[in-house]
Amino acid sequence: MDFAAKRAQLIESLSHEIKDSRVLEVMGRIHRELFVAEPFTFCAYKNEPLAIGHGQTISQPLIIALMTQALELSGNEKVLEIGTGSGYQTAILAELARSVVSTERIPELAKQARSLLDRLGYQNITIHLTGNRLGWEQDAPYAAILVTAAAPQLPHSLLEQLAFGGKLIIPVGSMALQQLYRITRHKEGNLVENLGGCRFVPLIGIEAWENH
């Protein structure tokens, strides 16, 4: 399969809604097929979510691009990612920011992502296995936080790890349907923006959903 051609077609399609040229350029360079489970590699450049095992998914490219664009990264940020998953979103953030701290609760996914990202040569990513804790307080504050799973409400613990002036992107809502929010933290009160409807796997942990 000509993955390069499929990747170019996807980026062309995304460009109708995504206006951040840096996001498009990075997504045009990263080989998504490497982050997709073997039976689904032929679907790597379809604009749809794909299963990665353990009840988790790699989000559809459009939602990944929208969330990344919403962070408005300049290249000098320390970013916190909640939910390493396959490592695809992690790689995109690493290309656009100074450093990425990524957390994962599933040991197998953390191990696979760390191995792949190391093999690809990323040196500005650290991955932590955190169980039900949200975030990584040891390296706070962060200029940006991106949450790749849906919470029932805004976790206060994550907001406390965000620097003033920083942006938090998070899906919030029910198990079935959520809204994607961008929260910009300010000392005098936070700016909350609704970026539209979305569907994510549930965020498991303290201040989130229980793991059944």
Active site residues: 59
Torsion of CA 125, 127, 132, 136, to 10 degrees: -50
Residues 205 and 156: their CA atoms lie apart, in Å, by 13
Q: Which residues contact 202 (CB under 8 A, 6 or more apart)?
A: 149, 150, 175, 208, 209
Whether 129 contacts 107, CB under 8 Å = yes
